[in-house]
Structure 1
Amino acid sequence: MATITVRVSDEEKKFLDEMAKFEGKSLSDLLKTTTLESLEDSYDAHVGDIAYEDYLKNRKSRPLSELLTEYEVD
């Protein structure tokens, strides 16, 4: 498992420790899960923006039932 070092001020460290305690997590787990969730949300929003821009250029849509069949979703 890899280790990442992040430098923070004493005030930031105190805040992070308090937040970890508030969330009932270790500091490492809090930073890991919060960072990954934030990055995933940012990525999803960016992909959504790109898809919407593409839709605005083409103005084509398909029925949901057709997409569900195409992607074999029950």
Structure 2
Amino acid sequence: MATITVRVSEIEKLFLDKMAKFEGKSLSDLLKTTTLESLEDEYDARVADYAYEEYLERPKSRPLSDVMSEYGLEDNE
């Protein structure tokens, strides 16, 4: 497993320690999960923005029922 070093001030370290305790996680776990979740959210938002811009340039859509059928998710009720 790789190790990454992050330099923070004493006040930031104190805050991070308190947040880790508040979340019931180790400091390493808190930083890893929070950072990865934040980056994943940012990635998802950018991909959505890109897809929306693409849609505005070439508006084309399909009914949700068609897409669900294509992936075998028909509503059988």
TM-score (norm 1): 0.93
Counterpart amino acid of 1:28? S
CA-based RMSD? 0.9
Determine the C-alpha separation between the residues in 2 that align with 1:73 and 1:28: 41
- SS of 2:7's equivalent? coil
- SS of 1:2's equivalent? coil
Count of equivalent residues: 73
The structure in which a higher percent of residues are helix is: 1
Counterpart amino acid of 1:59? P
Unaligned runs of 5+ in 2: none
1:11-43 deviations in Å (ceiling 9; x for gaps) = 100000000000000000000000000000000
Determine the C-alpha separation between the residues in 1 that align with 2:29 and 2:50: 32
| Runs of 4+ that moved beyond 4 A | none
% of aligned pairs identical? Answer: 74
TM-score (norm 2): 0.90
Unaligned runs of 5+ in 1: none
